[in-house]
Amino acid sequence: MKIINYFILIAFCGLLIYVSLDLPNRADLDAVINRETSPAGTPNAAVFYTRHSYEDAHTPNIVTVILADYRGYDTMGETTVIFTAGLICMMLLRKRRKP
């Protein structure tokens, strides 16, 4: 049984390595994600972020600008989720049943 597990693991690892060879290089202008328009013909969001994030927020880290500014609602939801999880754990765990 263990041998089958290892075999599946190695096969999956090989599959992932094989697939990763198809990924575009960094800053490859001909890659689909870096083109001005998507294959469906709509303007691409990544190009907008790369061009405007520094002028908009004076922050060199594009990821930070997207997370906290352009997509601020999303990060707000994440924070609320973490806080809610903490509150629920407090309600469930802090009250111990009497033996």
Partner 1 sequence: MTGKSDNPILSMISRMISPFIMIYALYVIFHGHYSPGGGFQGGTMLGAAVILSRLASGSELSRLLLGKGIGTLMGAIGVFIYFGTGFLAMLLGGRFLEYKYLARIMPVSDAMARNWGIQFVEVGVGLAVMGIMVALYDDILTGEPDA
Q: Provide the binding-site residues for partner 1, judged by CB under 8 A.
A: 55-61, 63-65, 67-69, 72-73, 75-76, 78-80, 82-83, 85-87, 89-90, 93-94, 96
The token pair at 10 is 């190695």
Nearer to partner 1, 37 or 59 (CB): 59
CA pair distance 68, 3, nearest whole angstrom: 47
Residue 7 is encoded by which pair of tokens? 């075999």
Beta carbon nearer to partner 1, 31 or 87: 87
Report, in Å, the least distance between residue 58 CB and partner 1: 4
Judged by beta carbon, residue 14 or residue 77, the one nearer partner 1 is 77
Rank residues 28 and 74 by Cβ distance to partner 1 and give the closer one: 74
Side chain identity, residue 93:
L
85, exposed or middle or buried, with CB in 10 Å at 0-12, 13-18, 19+?
exposed
Contacts of 67 (CB under 8 A, 6+ apart): 74, 75
Closest approach of partner 1 to the CB of residue 46, in Å: 18
